[in-house]
Amino acid sequence: MISKNTIDRVFEASRVEEVLGDFVNLKKSGSNYKGLSPFSEERTPSFMVSPVKQIWKDFSSGKGGNVVAFLMEHEHFTYPEAIKYLAKKYNIEVEETEQSQEQKEQADERESMYLVSEFAAKYFQHNLLKTDLGKAIGLSYFKERGFSDETIKKFGLGYCLDEWSNFTSEALGKGYKLEYLEKTGLTIVKEEKQFDRFKGRVMFPIQSMSGRVLGFGGRILTNDKKAAKYLNSPESEIYHKSKVLYGIYHAKQAIAKEDNCFLVEGYTDVIQFNQSGIENVVSSSGTALTPEQIRLINRLTKNITVLFDSDAAGQRASIRGIDLILEQGMNVKVCAFPEGEDPDSFAKKNSEEDIRLYLKNNSKDFINYKASLLMEEAKNDPVKKASLIRDMVTSISKIPDHIQQEVYVQETSRIMDISEDVIFSTLAQLAGATGKQVPKKTKSFEVVRDDPAPREKVDELYVLEKTIISLLLLYGSVEEEFEDLVLKTDEKGEMILEPEVQKSKVYEKVFLDLQEDEVAFANENFRKIYQQVIGKYQEDENFSIDNFVNEMAVENASEVTNILMEEEQYVLHDWERMEIFVKEKKEGIGRLVNETILSLRRYLVNRKINELNQEVKDAPPEESPGILQDIMDYISLKKVLSNKLNRVM
């Protein structure tokens, strides 16, 4: 168990904008930061980070919380894992007590698989750097590729000895279960025998965006034609090939900083570029590019430059990937290397300055690239030229933004010497087949009215309780003048409402009024938050809510974040720029407190009247008069509350 002292130090050192900036490309927006949601597919930012409150809110998915909540949600960390990750980032020593055997057994399956993978990565690197066979075979291979010692350690490169079960025996001897060795794919189990999957291969650990080892790629060093040159870990609970990019852990900060991502094909391409000083480079690890992988990049930048080998197969594979990238609303450029070169060999032979200059001068927009590549094949053949134009229009049809589509239509028209009308017509044909809309030269549009969906019933009690919690969190320590309407008898003996003004802090007003009515929150989360907040204010009148989220249970912290960040969505959408001015709650706190408490009282009285009405139906005749009198009393009280409420409003 991690000590409270360590947890406190971690929260004190952690900056939510720094940690989340490793996963999401954040841009300044007033006193906050905003970016694309890492939890949903979107093209306009709905993700907001507050450095002042040290919390974040994703308005597209509804998720939110503190820095630990983000790591638990995004990286699927347990609470201790998230604390350890932050401690490592901020160079804080973790104090913890030894786990009991029972606690170790309670670790969930995912965590056990992560632990096995972490052990394997360390073990393979130890083989590479510390054993004679590892140095002679594995290390010499990496040295021949031109990788420095620093690069080998940075990427965790390793070697699995060419023995049937060397790794498996070592792992079992260290207490790791065969069940998890098999589930991660590190060990192949057949009847009573176990074999190392990566026997005799140099190893490339595949890491998540946070640096956790998810799986491995292994390259064989012999000329065995029956064995695959590269072998990847099989799909598992923690490793999904379609959702992972090799090198993303080392590239994420550079991608966000450069606002561009270089996409290559293989492991060594990534490593060689990185060693040359160009770090914003990732690879799809030999698998076909997927939408999930593209969305991973989309969190950090809207710009991708595809780099590929000079051979025809590499070029055609890249073209297939381009349409997928366009479909995700990304900006794409393409760069081919000189004849006989690939990203690995080119980076090895050139300095960082020369590589950057080459990429700058030779990166082409995808339309120009497709034209230059395919026109060579078409030459003077009209049929092939028509096929090429259709191919280019197909790519344009993938772009979701209509303005961008029209710009590319104009460019294609210019390059291919064909009218825009023909291209628009072809786009319309393609759209008809897929059901998509395309930009058209039209002067009118038709309004289509859908049948209105049934309205969802509002949970009035939930809204009222949430408003009370919101007022306590945002303005609990603010001192306000509260006007209370007291029932008095006038000269004629009639009951009237007379205003009385008193000054108090918001939390005092709320606490005393709810205590007077003996009101308990119906929502369990709100009840816990209310007790915690009131307790904090009573302990310390100067209590600040800023670090309060860090002390709460994750489910309560999420609810509190929703409340604290609620008004930030107005900033996110920049409504003031469109001359839509949203009135802030703090402009009428006293009135809002009174209005909310009176509304809650009226709601509870109304609920009681409904209960009594049901009760009188089932009651024996002799009890009915008493219940009817209670109903009349509550109706009178409801009338008084309604009058008070109308006066306040």
Choose which CATH entry (3.20.19.10, 1.10.260.40, 3.40.1360.10, 3.40.1160.10) describes domain 248-434.
3.40.1360.10
Query: Over 70: is that where the pLDDT of 338 sits?
Result: yes
134 neighbors 159 (Cβ within 8 angstroms): yes
pLDDT above 70 coverage of the chain, percent: 85
Distance, CA of 268 to CA of 273 (rounded, Å)? 8
The two three-digit tokens of residue 342, written as one number: 């690939």
Same fold, 4-89 and 248-434: no
Residue 634 host element (H or E): helix 624-648
Q: Quote the pLDDT of residue 581.
A: 43
Is the CATH code 3.90.580.10 the one for domain 4-89? Answer: yes
CB-based contact 248:267 (threshold 8 Å): no
User: In this predicted structure, what is the pLDDT of residue 583?
Assistant: 47
Question: DSSP code of 588?
Answer: G
* Residue bearing the bigger pLDDT, 400 or 180: 180
Torsion 561-566-567-569 (CA) sign: positive
Q: Which residue has the higher pLDDT, 491 or 562?
A: 562
pLDDT for res 287: 75
The arithmetic mean of pLDDT across residues 326-342, rounded, is: 90
Q: How confident is the model at residue 94 (pLDDT cuts 50, 70, 90)?
A: confident
Residue 38 has pLDDT above 50, yes or no: yes
Closest CA to 398 of 500, 465, 462, 330: 330
Domain segments of the chain as ranges: 4-89, 108-239, 248-434, 457-567+587-649
* For residue 529, pLDDT beyond 50: yes
Q: Kindly report the pTM of this predicted structure.
A: 0.70
pLDDT above 70 for 616: yes
More confident residue, 514 or 18: 18
100-104, 220-224, 230-234, 636-640, range with greatest mean pLDDT? 230-234
What local confidence, expressed as pLDDT, does residue 215 receive? 96
**What mean pLDDT do residues 176-185 have?**
95
Q: What is the pLDDT of residues 284-332, one digit of tens each?
A: 876 788 999 998 998 889 999 999 876 655 566 667 788 889 988 899 9
400 and 448 in contact (C-beta within 8 Å)?
Answer: no
Question: Quick check: 530 and 469 in contact, CB under 8 A?
Answer: yes
CATH topology of domain 108-239: DNA primase DNAg catalytic core, N-terminal domain (3.90.980)
How long, in residues, is the chain?
A: 649
The residue with tokens 């009840």 is 527
- The reported pLDDT for the residue numbered 182 is 96
Q: What is the mean pLDDT of residues 368-376?
A: 75
What pLDDT is stored for residue 2 in this prediction? 85
Distances (CA, A) of 183 to 163, 180, 241: 21, 5, 15
